[in-house]
Each structure stands twice: as structure tokens, then as C-alpha cells.
Amino acid sequence: MAVEMEVPTQTTPEVGGMGHSVKRKEDPRFIRGAGRYIDDVVLPGMLWLDIVRSPYAHATIKGIDASAALKIPGVLAVITGADLEKAGLHWMPTLANDKQMVLPTDTVMYQSQEVAAVVATDRYTAADGVAAVVVDYEPLPVIVDPFKAMEAGAQVLRPDREDRPNNHIWHWESGDRDATDRALESAAVRVSQRMHIPRIHVASIETCGCIADWDAIRGQMTLHMTSQAPHAIRTVLALVSGLPEHNIRVKTYDIGGGFGGKVPVYPGYVLAVVASLTVGKPVKWIEDRSENLQADSFARDYHIHAEMGATADGRITSLKVRTLADHGYTDAAADPSKFPAGLFNVITGSYDFPDAFVEVDGVYTNKPPGGVAYRCSFRVTEAVHAIERMVDILAHQIGKDPAQLRMENFIQPEQFPYKTPTGWEYDSGDYGKALKLAMEMIGYDDLRREQAEKRERGQLMGIGISSFTEIVGAGPSHQFDILGLKMFDSCEIRVHPTGKVLARIGVQTQGQGHETTFAQIIAEELGFPVADIKIEYGDTDTAPYGLGTYASRSTPVAGAATAMASRKIREKARHLAAHLLEANPDDLEWTNGKFSVKGSPDRSKTIQEIAFAAYTNHPQGMEAGLEAVDYYDPPNLTFPFGSYICVVDIERSTGEIKIRRFVAVDDCGNIINPMIVNGQIHGGLTMGLAPALYEQITYDENGNNLAGTFMDYLLPTAVETPAWELGKTITPSPHHPIGAKGVGESATVGAPPAIANAVVDALWHLGVRNIDIPITPPKVWAILQEKGVAT
Amino acid sequence: MDTQHVTVTVNGEAREADVEPRLLLVHLLRDVFGLTGTHIGCDTSNCGACTVHIDGESAKSCTLLALQVDGRRIKTIEGMASGADLHPLQQGFWDQHGLQCGFCTPGMIMQAAWMLERNPQPSEEEIREGISGNLCRCTGYVNIVKAIQQAAGMLSEADTAKAEAAAQVQG
Amino acid sequence: MQFSGKVDIKAPREKVFAFVTDPQQVGQCGPGVESIEVIDETHFKARAKVGVGFIRAKFVMDMELVEAVAPERAVIRARGQAPGSAVDATGTMTLSQGADAGATVMDWQADLTISGTIASLGGRMIEGTANKLIGQAFDCIRSRLEG
């Protein structure tokens, strides 16, 4: 049962401004199979690139013999690290200011690392070429465990980093260590817990790929690709390759899911560029699923130790968190420069307490680069999991209902804007209202009674809560940049003479529905019907510069830019209308897509009439046309929140966890399109369920990735996924032009601890305090065996 | 490499090609015939993005060879609409927001069409079972289930209308 | 991965030792071996086709007889590659007098490291498959010596 809430609207359904569930403008092409994804693009004379990958997780390369490959008809070139080294292209910068090999010259650092590239006339021949390249390796000892990598005397994995004497990449901390230590020492109750948030992979159903197209005559490089951040890619490519930035065009197509995995620059992209520069033809590279799961950037892999202090009756006073972050062989995290552990220090969550201290240490291991998001804003999921687990542990420890303990510790509505002990300023919130609604929807008190009765009979039922606060919309330029590029975003709007609109945005869509929702923002602000507005993105030759779509930043940043650009147009329209109506601009008022003279509503001009006049009858001294561009630098981040409640039943004979119900109450501020918001939450919840119960990338002791296909890396199907029940509260962001906060990732962030808390809640009375995610049936079954309750 | 001749009917149209014996059906459709609505998501038959119909049966075209379908009838997502008229499943997916990035959508629609032919009025559980060989990373399946339910309703109304019209003619 | 076992062979130690230190002979018993190329007394190359689950790979193996103490002990080291996969293995065979005259007890240990595609995609089937293949190899040695 979903609670349908009335979302306020100011426009008619025909105009389709904010609050309307407008059907998506992008769908007609997708439902007909007429979407155009990167692998659908074929250019004249196009060649194929395929990649030779290392079987070893750590080895010296003694030699590469490409002679047999080059004898295969149709194989045109084999590119090695030695070839790239001549051009200085064997290393490239990562987004986190580390270095990543494009191809190794002497040492491979993880299993499936790129070792050489084969260029051929078609994809099958390229694969033949890959199979024929012989590489002579001398295996080296492998470090898989980040704790072992940190031990004194551990083999140094990155001798090239002369600034680093060992495998420790960086230390980062936030909050007041001494005050937190004092608060913990004097706390009446202290709870502590170790948790591992394992490596997972976004596994968008479309893998990554590109076509690099070098036109030597025009000196033009066009890179057609799957990217969540095309402009950043263009600038990085200009810096790495030395090609002038105006002669580089990055162009995206329809993107089959991003979730953070299509933010980084992968070696395959650079290899395609080098190959096209070498052979002078377009070169396509499309990774297969195993390459995607084994070599693309990973998410999470945080080893957390948290300690929380509280009063005897459960008032939280302090939180101290130490974390070891496994980044693989290079730090390729897509975090803002000043935040090597992302926004992990939002870990104080929805709770009001004075003292907190967080420290994170990054470490190198023989794994692929990690640290991209998995549908979340920079390490927020790790933070939310830790705080929501700790709050539940505290509640259970002192024998207080977890809902009650949360209610007593929430930051109260009147405390906003609220400064956290780690330095964030939350914009707005009403956490108690969201939790109360979730409790009503699910019938919390009845469930607790049922649980007590079932426990008497030996049945295992658990109820888990997560009352999360997110931090999204990076971000204000004084704090946020990636490789020095400030994290503003942009929108450019052109109104054509006949009242039709073309708008271009600096962000990208990977399924979020920007072609619809950004049109709705313009419809809201200017009164043009959504049907008359075309949204474009993803072509760096035409779109204004922007940092791209990830970390739920599209609506908070580019959405704000769209509203602001619209308002610039509306201001010019006011002057045009004043000219047409022979009135003073200050005497005009704006309602329902037209300017009318105050007090005489029949003297008015519609936005369409004004647009026509901008090109046919503009006043002397005013520029012709009706266009505007806005680069929006947000004054603060936005802080969406919500309360989720999950009910599980555990099968004692198998350890199977059945999610009986899951209620999600979200508050993302003002809502642009309720249908799309719900869709985002459904998807986010499923990507929260996935790491909670199913997904994990594991490695054997030799560094082999043991989840290299969808047979071993388990995405939830329709059968495992419950029928999600949604509710909403609306607490607008006070600083955002349209009061919106962003929603794409809330549910991925909030769901895992609700599920984990439910499972532990079912088992707490047996002495279970924590189970690391993914909570698989074998893990639960082993616990049931140990506790003597398996049947 | 030596090639062999393959002849198929794709969306009602006779097509032929000389192909390497190792060519996968999905590459025949996409690379040789240019029907790029059928997608590749996993290479191991787990994700279902490549689902098509072969002689009316749902099949994953990424793990079949082109030669295996010689002489057979294939239907892809491009063959689902009749001109401007969308198939009820296409309409359902659009109306119910049953897609986001759209990558799994063609395979999901083809699988659902096959399922509804066998079971025109499936329960929610049967729908979820029926599409469990197709992975979607965006939607959480909720609206895909609703889309298929809407299509089942539309198809059954259309059947009823057809039956009534036939009865009137006879009457 | 480490495996070990014991095989009773109805043949004298000297004969068993000669067999397991002769590349041509012992090579025939390697899992999936298709050809043997002897390079010198202690080095040889084997080409083998091995399948784990749905994956099949053709390996080229460099073999070395690293230790041979007649008639009691032999150690063979192998390193091989198939596209995207690699195998590093050491097999140790210790021969002792069997209960019956003219019989030999072979205690063997195999230390096996599998890397790359086969390890990654073969996943949890690897250990079982490896165990089976190694067992077959020693059975093969026994039956050829007894036959």
C-alpha cells in the first residue's frame, strides 16, 4: 500500500510544470528499440579494439610477443605499454590526483588489468588477436587484505610514488578528537562495533565503451562514449593528450545506466584514442560483462570501527569512527579534491549530539581501483550504514525501542539550519514526521506485538529502521572541485520565435528522465508547455560546461541553474511585455505564463507572444532574441532524508531472509515529477537491497576476482525484489531556487541498514550484535547452527 | 574464416547473410542487419537484454549462433509496433514508467509478450517469475509489473472486443 | 590450493621413478595433455586442453623436473598460460617400498595456483575440478605402470 500524497502544482497538466506526473518524453524511442547506445553507433571505416588482460594480480612483465597476433589477417596493430611510454601516455591522472596505468611497462597490479590492446577490422578478429598475444610474466606476492598492506614491512606496492614510503595513501580526519575521547570516557553507556562494507560493483546493464574518431585533416578528435561527465572527460583528455581542447568533442548517447561507474576515465577509452590517432580511423572499444565486473572502478570496501557514547537512558553524546579504506592499486575515487574519503563525515546522521570524530586511512592493495560511488553521493552509504547500525545496537543494548531512541535523539525541526559536529550545515528537515509516517504505514506497534508472540513460539521475525540523512548536490565552489574544476553546473536556454524552447544542460542523463524533468522546471518558470521544450545534453560542442551527473547533483545544481536561467529570460520577457503593453515593467505581474498589467488582467501578453516579439518587435536599445545561460554555484549542499522500516522473517531451516514488507518514506524537498521520483526510489531501494543481501565482489588469496559474471555477482531479479511501499513528506530546501533536494540515491543509501537492522533485530535475543552485509543465507544459517536454533 | 549462408525471416521480412559459423545471433541482428534494439548486457544468458522470439519462443540471442536459426522466424523489439500503433506492452511501459535508462526494456518487453501469450492473465507472482530471467538495474521492477498488468488488461479487452464483433457478425 | 594423496602401485620403485621422471611417459598422464615437446633432460613443454565448468582453455605449459632423487623423490614444477589464465603448480612425489615385494607407495602433494579468467569465472567449481583432474593423473600413472 502506497500513500499517495498530494503534490502541489501551479500549472495546468497541459503545461506540466512542477508536481505533475508528466509521462517521459524520452520513452517513445526506448520502447520501440530505437534508443541509441554507444554500441549501436557505427562509423564508416570503423575498427575494433580489444584488450589483453593480466591473469595475475601482481606480476612482472618480462616480455610481450605480438608476432602471432600480427599475423592474423585483419589484425592491424598491437599497442603495448612500451609504445605508450614513447608518447608519455602510459600513465594517466585519476580524478583523485593519483596515477593510473593506461598500460603497464613493467608490473601488473591486479587480475584482469589491461596489458596490451589489439586493433582489428571487427570484434571477432580483435578477440582472436587478443588470444594470440603471448605475455611472459613472473608472478609476485599478492596483497589482498588491506590490514596486511598496512603492516610494517609489507611489500610496497607503488614504488613509483616516492612521496609514499609504504602502502598508506592518505589520512583524513574530521571533528574534535579530544572532545570526543573525553565524552566517550565519561559516557554512561558505550557501544562499539566493527563492520565491513564490502566491495561492490554498479553493474549497469550497459557496460562501458567508446568510439574514438581522429580526423587528421581537420585536427579533430571526437570521442563518442558512455560518460556521466563528458566535459570533465574533455578537459582531462586535453591535459593528458596535449590535443587542444576546442578540437576535442566528447559526445554521449543514450546511456544504459551509470550509478557512478561511468564517471572515471578507464584505460580502454585512452587506448581507443591512441589507436585512432595511430591508425587514423574510428576505433570502437566495448567491454564485455566480465571485463566490466573485473576491471572497472569499484565502490565501498570500507573497514569501519565505530564507538558510540550515550547517557544511561539513551541520549547519544558522542561518536568515534576509525576506517581503513581499500582503494586497490591506485586511488581512482571520484571524490571532490578536498574530500579523499568523500562526505563520510556526514556520519552523525539525523541525530543531535555534540561530539564526533572520524578518521579514514586510504590503502593500496592488489585490486582494481576503487572508490567510485554505487548510486550514492561520495561515501554517504558507508556513513549511513555505520550510524544506523550503531543507533540500533545502542537501542538494543539498553533495551529501548529503536524507534523511540531515534525519536529522542533526532535533530528537531526548529534546530535547522543545523550545524553538525563535523562541520556540515543541514538545510532543513523534519525527521520525526517521516519516521512517524513510516510507523503508521507499516503498523509498527502491531508488528512489535506480533514479534513478541512469535519469539515465544521460537519464530524469527525482525523489524529494522533506518532514519537516514543524505548530503547531495556538490557543490559550493569554495569547498568542491574535481581536479581543480569547481562543481558548479549550468543551463542554457534559447526561446525560438514561435515559442518553442531548446535548453542545454551541463549534466547528463543515464535514465533519470532529464529530458522530461528539466523541461518541467522551465515549464514551471516560464509557462511553456513541456511538449514545446527540448532538452539536450552530452555534447561538449554545444552544451554549457558542467561537471556531470552523479552524487544526486543534477536537480540540486543543474536544476537550480535551469530555474535561474529561466528567471533571467522571464526578466527580459517582462521588459518586452512592458514594451508591447506600453506599461512600466514594475507594473506587470506574472501569472500562468503571461505578464499582465496589475489591476487590468485583460491587458496581458503570453510568453509565446513575447517570444515572437523578441525577434520581430523588440524595443530600440534592447538586444534581440530571448536566451539566457546560468552557471549555478550552490550556496550549500542539500540534505534529503527519510525513514525506512523493513520487516523480515527468517527461515530457521535454511537461513533464508524473507522481506515481508518494506515501507520507505522519503523527503526530497519539492517534487518536480512524482512519477519519476517514485521510480527513482523504487530503483534506489533495489540497489539498497542488492548489497544488503546479495552483491559482493570477493577475491581469493591470489587476487582473483571471484564474481566475474552475473552467475556469481547476483543482481536482484523481480522475484527477490519486494513490492516497495512508498510515502512522502515534503520539507523544501530553503536555499534551492525551486526548493528541491535531489532523490536519485536516497533509497540506495537508506535501505541497507534497514534490512541489516531487521535481520539483527530478529536474532539479537540469541546474542547476535552485527552481521556484515551481504547477509546471505549461509551466513545466517551458520549463526542459527551456532546458536542451536536451526531446524 | 570460411562463411556459411544463413536465411531467416526477421519481423516478417526475409533476410540473408554469409556469416562466420561462430557469429552469435545477437551480432547477426545488430551488426549485420542493423537491428540495434536488441541489446547485449552480460554474455552469459543472465540479464535477458538480448531476448528475442524464435518461431514464437522467447530466447536469449547472445548465447545462440546465427547458424542455429537458419530457416526460422525471428521477432525483435523493432517488430512489436504496427506503424504508429504501439503494442499494448510498449504502451504499458510508457504509461506506467516501466523503464528508466531503457537498456533492458526491449528484452523485458519481448519476454513479457511471450509470457502473456502463454498466460494472458498472470498474477503478480507469476509476472515476477516470468521476468526473472531479465535484469533491470533502474526500476526495482515495481512499475514493470504494473506495465505488464496494464498490457494484460488491454490485450484481454481487445480479445473481448474482437469476440463480440465476431459474435455480432455471426448474429 | 593444496592437494595430496597416496597411490599404491604394483610396480617396483625404480620402474615408478623412471616413469615419473620421463617427460614423454609422465606427460601422457597430465590432465588434457595433447602433445609433449621435450626440450632437454629436465625441461619439456606440454600442450593441454582443460575445461572448468563452461570454460575451456588451451594451455601451453612449461614443465621442469626440479628435483630427482632416485628412486625415492621427484619434484616437477609447471607454469602455463592460456589466453587470460595462468597456472603455476608444483607436484612432489615420494616413493616408498610397498607392503608387497615389487610394490610401491607413492605419496604425492600438489600445490596449485590458478590465476585469471579460469579462476575468476570457474569460481567455486575449480577446487572440485582440480581435485578430480589431479586424482585422474595419478590413477593414470598407476594404471600405465601396472598395465
Question: What is the crossing angle of helices A402-409 and A380-398, to 10°?
Answer: 110
> Is residue A2 over pLDDT 70?
no
Prediction pTM value: 0.96
Question: Mind listing the pLDDT tens digit for each residue in A343-363?
Answer: 999 999 999 999 999 999 999
| b/e code A495-521 from CB counts within 10 Å (16+ = b) | bbeebbbebbbbbbbbbbbbbbbbbbb
Q: Which of C84, C88, C123 sits opposite A139 (nearest CB)?
A: C88
User: What's the pLDDT score for residue A614?
Assistant: 98
Edge-to-edge strand list for the sheet holding B73-75: B13-19, B4-10, B73-75, B51-54, B57-60
Give the rounded percent of residues in chain A with a pLDDT score beyond 70: 99
| Cβ atoms within 10 Å, residue C49 | 13
Question: Mind listing the pLDDT tens digit for each residue in A581-615?
Answer: 999 999 999 998 999 999 999 999 999 999 999 99
Contact assessment for residue A777 and residue A653, using Cβ atoms and an 8 Å cutoff: no
* Amino acid sitting at position A591: T
Chain B contact set for A129 (CB, 8 A): none
Confidence at A674, pLDDT banded by 50, 70, 90: very high
What is the separation, in whole angstroms, between the first and last Cα of chain B? 64
Chain A contact set for B94 (CB, 8 A): 23-24, 27-28, 31
Cell readout for A637 is: 549542499
- The fold adopted by the segment(s) C2-146 is Alpha-D-Glucose-1,6-Bisphosphate; Chain A, domain 4 (3.30.530)
The verdict on domain A27-35+489-632 having CATH code 3.40.190.10 is no
Interface contact flag, C120 A294, Cβ < 8 Å: yes
Please state, rounded to an integer, the average pLDDT across all residues of chain A: 96
Angle at CA of residue A41, ends A281 and A550, nearest 5°:
105
- The fold adopted by the segment(s) A38-140+207-255+262-295 is Aldehyde Oxidoreductase; domain 3 (3.90.1170)
Higher pLDDT, A370 or A379: A379
Contact assessment for residue B31 and residue B50, using Cβ atoms and an 8 Å cutoff: no
Domains and CATH numbers, chain B: 4-79 (3.10.20.30), 88-164 (1.10.150.120)
> Is residue A289 over pLDDT 50?
yes
> Is residue A175 over pLDDT 70?
yes
- Phi and psi at residue A305, to the nearest 5°: -120, 120
| Nearest-neighbour CA in chain B from A125: distance (Å) | 10
- Phi and psi at residue B99, to the nearest 5°: -150, 155
Which residues is A358 bridged to in the sheet? A174, A321
Q: Which of B37, B94, B97 sits opposite A33 (nearest CB)?
A: B37
Chain A contact set for B141 (CB, 8 A): 682, 686, 717-718, 721
Greatest distance between any 2 Cα atoms in chain C: 48
Question: Mind listing the pLDDT tens digit for each residue in A66-121?
Answer: 999 999 999 999 999 999 999 899 999 888 889 999 999 999 999 999 999 999 99
Residues in chain C: 147
Contact assessment for residue A193 and residue A389, using Cβ atoms and an 8 Å cutoff: yes
User: What dihedral angle (degrees, nearest 10) is formed by the CA atoms of A493, A494, A498, A499?
Assistant: 20
Which residues is B90 bridged to in the sheet? none
| Nearest-neighbour CA in chain A from B138: distance (Å) | 5
Chain A contact set for C85 (CB, 8 A): 55
Interface contact flag, A704 C85, Cβ < 8 Å: no
Residue A397: exposed, middle, or buried by beta-carbon count in 10 A (0-12, 13-18, 19+)? middle
Give the residue numbers of A marked as catalytic: 228, 375-376, 745
Q: Map grid coordinates 613443454 to a residue.
A: C45
The DSSP call for residue A544 is: P
| Cβ atoms within 10 Å, residue A241 | 18
- Among A518, A523, A516, A504, CA closest to A554: A518
Question: What is the crossing angle of helices A560-581 and A514-526, to 10°?
Answer: 30
Choose the mutation target among A700, A709, A712, A776 for the interface with C, i.e. most C CBs under 10 Å: A700
| Cβ atoms within 10 Å, residue A407 | 15
Residues in chain B: 171
> Is residue A221 over pLDDT 80?
yes
Given CB atoms, is C1 within the 8 Å cutoff of chain A? no
The DSSP call for residue A557 is: I
Contact assessment for residue A488 and residue A632, using Cβ atoms and an 8 Å cutoff: yes
Choose the mutation target among B27, B33, B100 for the interface with A, i.e. most A CBs under 10 Å: B100
- Among A264, A261, A741, CA closest to A472: A741
Q: Which of A134, A290, A700 sits opposite C121 (nearest CB)?
A: A290
Lowest-pLDDT range of A38-52, A438-452, C64-78 = C64-78
Interface contact flag, B37 A32, Cβ < 8 Å: yes
Fold agreement between A27-35+489-632 and A38-140+207-255+262-295: no
User: What's the pLDDT score for residue A3?
Assistant: 52
Question: Mind listing the pLDDT tens digit for each residue in A8-60?
Answer: 899 999 999 999 999 999 999 999 999 999 999 999 999 999 999 999 999 99
Interface contact flag, A32 B137, Cβ < 8 Å: no
Interface contact flag, A111 C115, Cβ < 8 Å: yes
Chain A contact set for C88 (CB, 8 A): 139
Question: Mind listing the pLDDT tens digit for each residue in A748-760?
Answer: 999 999 999 999 9
Given CB atoms, is A604 within the 8 Å cutoff of chain B? no
Confidence at A4, pLDDT banded by 50, 70, 90: low
Angle at CA of residue A734, ends A731 and A737, nearest 5°:
110
Chain A contact set for B77 (CB, 8 A): 32-33
Q: Map grid coordinates 522481506 to a residue.
A: A659
Chain C contact set for A708 (CB, 8 A): 117, 120-121, 123
Residues whose CB falls within 8 Å of the CB of residue A597, separated by 6 or more in sequence, listed in order: A581, A583, A587, A588, A603, A604
Interface contact flag, C115 A53, Cβ < 8 Å: no
Between CA B62 and CA B106 the distance in angstroms is 14
Q: How many CB pairs under 8 A join A and B?
A: 183
For A135, the closest chain C residue by CA position comes to C81
Interface contact flag, C120 A290, Cβ < 8 Å: yes
- Among A165, A159, A49, CA closest to A107: A159
Residue ranges per structural domain of chain C: 2-146
User: What dihedral angle (degrees, nearest 10) is formed by the CA atoms of A336, A339, A345, A347?
Assistant: 50
> Is residue A1 over pLDDT 50?
no
Between CA C122 and CA C120 the distance in angstroms is 6
- Phi and psi at residue A107, to the nearest 5°: -135, 135
Kindly report the CATH class assigned to A298-474+636-787: alpha beta
| Nearest-neighbour CA in chain A from B2: distance (Å) | 13
Residue ranges per structural domain of chain A: 27-35+489-632, 38-140+207-255+262-295, 298-474+636-787
Between CA B60 and CA B38 the distance in angstroms is 10
